Amino acid sequence: TLAYDCRRSDFFVPHAIGALKLVDRGAITPNTKGAKHGELGHTQFLPGNALNYGVDGSGDGRVDFYSEADAIASTANFLRQKGWQPGAGYQEGQPNFRVIQAWNAAGVYQKAIAIMASRIDG
């Protein structure tokens, strides 16, 4: 796994432990399918972030990152907790650009999100 044999082990170990905690709590099963680096659900939460920022958006009493309502509510919670400023910009040099960095530290990812969002904004 990336936690064991990777140049970024320090980053991935807490997420590997988070995945085990999610299994222990019954939030995911050992057979739950995730993405290449262990991301879960619609908005690709890493397991450690799932534990810290997960929200029950559907009101069913559990957090399920494969539920659209929970994934959206959890993503909004993550962004808010990381300092998202409603109405502030998200392009390079603007306040919310660094919040995108908290989601994914790759500069190319942040720029891609900003470009796509600006196209959606019109």
Q: What string of pLDDT tens digits covers the 122 residues of the chain?
A: 555 666 777 878 888 899 999 999 998 988 888 888 788 999 999 999 999 999 999 999 999 999 999 999 999 999 999 999 999 988 889 999 889 888 887 888 888 888 898 898 87
Same domain, yes or no, for 73 and 92?
Answer: no
Same domain, yes or no, for 59 and 115?
Answer: no
Same domain, yes or no, for 37 and 70?
Answer: yes
Same domain, yes or no, for 48 and 98?
Answer: no
Same domain, yes or no, for 90 and 73?
Answer: no
Same domain, yes or no, for 58 and 103?
Answer: no
Q: How many residues make up the chain in this entry?
A: 122
Residue 53: domain span: 1-81
What total number of domains does the chain contain? 2
Same domain, yes or no, for 94 and 73?
Answer: no
Q: How far is CA 65 from CA 9, 18, 42, 69, in A?
A: 24, 14, 6, 9
